Amino acid sequence: MNLLTAEHDQRFLSATELTGKLIGRTASIGIVGLGYVGLPLTMLLADAGFTMTGFDVDTRKVAALNEGRSYIQRITSEEIAAMVNSGMRATADFSAIREMDAVIICVPTPLNEHREPDLSFIEETARAIAPYLQPGQLIVLESTTYPGTTEEVLIPLLERGSKLNCFRDHSQEELCFHVAYSPEREDPGNDLVARKDVPKVVGAPCTLSQQIASDLYSTIFTRTVKVSSTGAAEMTKLLENIYRCVNIALVNELKLLCQRINLDIWEIIAAAATKPFGFQPFYPGPGLGGHCIPIDPFYLSWKAREVDFSTRFIELAGEINTEMPYRVIDVVTRALNQQHKTVNGSKVLVLGLAYKKDIDDLRESPSLTLIELLRKLGAEVAYNDPYFPEVSQGRHYALNLASVSLDDISSYDCVLIATNHSSYDYAWIVEHAALVVDTRNATAGLARNNVWQA
Ligand SMILES: NC(=O)c1ccc[n+]([C@@H]2O[C@H](COP(=O)([O-])OP(=O)(O)OC[C@H]3O[C@@H](n4cnc5c(N)ncnc54)[C@H](O)[C@@H]3O)[C@@H](O)[C@H]2O)c1
């Protein structure tokens, strides 16, 4: 039953009613932030039968979705059109938050120019939705962030802007909204594990809100993992990404050592990975990329400084990983040198712009750093990437280039494999290029004297 409370002239949904709507898949759910995380999540929930509304400040995305057009490579326009035809709509008008039973926030959490957490997107979202909050609604934050964000930043802004309270044990339900934090664990390009089979971690300020959030996610995930607080859920996500970041730094450092003592790190990792316990393989590369691994650990370092704690593993891993593109350029320099050429004036073709193979995501891609470093040294740089026909300017780069054809690959002094997209024919590349520098072991088994590992 929906009640209008006299005090708030608002719609009140009891926890029992909300749970019923979630389990029965009749709830209206809003997703705020329709990017790489928010859009696939909208599709999953729409597929489960929920009435979906997507909110985004980017009106081009809103228009594209309402017209049935996709803007993410791995999602087809047909899929978007089918979802829109079945009732999903997108909007930049946040007053529609009023009609939602649950709202999930998936906005960006980047670092600012001082490499400190930039929570402005979460804060703007909180301010935008607060005036429309209704008692009984569930608000879930999915954006990756430091432990304490939900309690210290999100909840106070929602409470202030809505004149309602966050529900806690013994609160009066009619005057409260529910809050939870549930980290996104998507791994773009990973087709080995179905999204629904990746357990969903959920933390909340009290057991009732935790249970409601868990009921919501149980409709699309095989398993939810309840933790005792939003802070524990926030920290779980950071532990996962710091684990990756530190282990990648470890193999990157060992790669540099192996190069110096003439061993092949890839052969060694493959051999070590045959151990059936106690070892998980990580692979070296030209540097870290993506919206998560290069950024998230520094959210925790920043938070740790608040309590006079120094996160040394994170800082060291950051140092090593940041150094990797420079080391790749050293190899390019030596490889050209052996052919009596300098980087200055050489034509270099960078293969792959995306931060990892087979995806259309450029964020923090080491390829961008490699291109910048090569240009600074006077190289004439071109790129090829089937996922990016052209690239102009972004937050931290100004490329202004179009992807070139591989037909005249032999005209380049050096071909630098930065991303190992599956669509490349590496045997053909090695056969036709004058010189190849390979940062991804994409040419394994094709050893020729024109290939350098970097
Ligand atoms: N991309 C991934 O693989 C991945 C994986 C795990 C976690 N995450 C985390 O999920 C969060 C979202 O990442 P993403 O990759 O989807 O980002 P994204 O940049 O692809 O999408 C974010 C969307 O939010 C919109 N937005 C920004 N401010 C807004 C506001 N005030 N109101 C409404 N919409 C707003 C943007 O226009 C954009 O469409 C981040 O915290 C990220 O760290 C991402």
Domains and CATH numbers, the chain: 3-228 (3.40.50.720), 248-453 (3.40.50.720)
Residue 338 alpha carbon to ligand 1 centre in Å: 45
pLDDT of the residue at 7: 45
pLDDT of the residue at 395: 75
Phi, psi of 128 (to 5 degrees): -75, -35
Taking CA atoms only, the protein residue closest to ligand 1 atom 15 is 36
Per-residue confidence band for 320, with pLDDT thresholds at 50, 70 and 90: very high
Residue 389 alpha carbon to ligand 1 centre in Å: 23
Per-residue confidence band for 113, with pLDDT thresholds at 50, 70 and 90: confident
Probe target for ligand 1 pocket from 291, 356, 364, with the most ligand atoms within 8 Å of CB: 291
pLDDT higher for 332 or 8? 332
Which atom, in ligand 1's list, is nearest to the CA of 124? 31
Q: Give me the residues paired with residue 451 across strands.
A: 436
Taking CA atoms only, the protein residue closest to ligand 1 atom 23 is 33
Residues 6+ apart with CB under 8 A from 333: 343, 377
Taking CA atoms only, the protein residue closest to ligand 1 atom 27 is 107
pLDDT of the residue at 5: 46
Distance CA 378, CA 142 (A): 43
Tokens of 162: 């809505």
Residue 144 alpha carbon to ligand 1 centre in Å: 9
Phi, psi of 28 (to 5 degrees): -95, 125
Residue 395 alpha carbon to ligand 1 centre in Å: 15
pLDDT of the residue at 356: 94
Residue 89 alpha carbon to ligand 1 centre in Å: 18
Residue 34 alpha carbon to ligand 1 centre in Å: 7
Which atom, in ligand 1's list, is nearest to the CA of 55? 33
Residue 5 alpha carbon to ligand 1 centre in Å: 34
Distance CA 76, CA 311 (A): 42
Average pLDDT over residues 349-363: 94
Distance CA 113, CA 115 (A): 5
End-to-end alpha carbon distance in the chain: 64
pLDDT of the residue at 215: 98
Which atom, in ligand 1's list, is nearest to the CA of 142? 10
Does residue 452 contact residue 335 with C-beta atoms inside 8 Å?
Answer: yes
Is the pLDDT assigned to residue 447 strictly greater than 80?
Answer: no
In the annotation, is 292 catalytic?
yes
pLDDT of the residue at 88: 98
Taking CA atoms only, the protein residue closest to ligand 1 atom 1 is 36
Least trusted range by pLDDT, from 84-88, 123-127, 189-193: 189-193
Least trusted range by pLDDT, from 179-193, 322-336, 397-411: 179-193
Scanning 154-272, the segments in alpha helix (DSSP H) are 155-162, 207-218, 230-260, 265-272
Q: Of all residues in the chain, what percent carry a pLDDT higher than 90?
A: 89
Which atom, in ligand 1's list, is nearest to the CA of 109? 41
Give me the residue label for tokens 């070139």.
404
Length of the chain: 454
Taking CA atoms only, the protein residue closest to ligand 1 atom 41 is 143
Residues 6+ apart with CB under 8 A from 260: none
Average pLDDT over residues 85-107: 98
Average pLDDT over residues 175-191: 91
Does residue 201 contact residue 232 with C-beta atoms inside 8 Å?
Answer: no
Which atom, in ligand 1's list, is nearest to the CA of 183? 7
Taking CA atoms only, the protein residue closest to ligand 1 atom 36 is 33
Averaged confidence pLDDT in the chain: 95
DSSP state of 154: I
Catalytic residue among 166, 176, 206, 292: 292
Which residues' Cβ are closer than 6 Å to ligand 1? Answer: 32-38, 55-58, 61, 106-109, 121, 124-125, 128, 142-144, 184, 186, 188, 291-292
Ramachandran quadrant class, 400 (left: phi over 0; alpha: psi -120 to 50; beta: rest): left
Tell me the DSSP string of 88-152. Answer: -EEES-GGGGGG-SEEEE-----B-TTS-B--HHHHHHHHHHGGG--TT-EEEE-S---TTHIII
**β-strand pairing of 10-12 with 3-5:** antiparallel
Does residue 317 contact residue 278 with C-beta atoms inside 8 Å?
Answer: no
Which atom, in ligand 1's list, is nearest to the CA of 34? 39
Taking CA atoms only, the protein residue closest to ligand 1 atom 30 is 125
Probe target for ligand 1 pocket from 41, 93, 107, 293, with the most ligand atoms within 8 Å of CB: 107
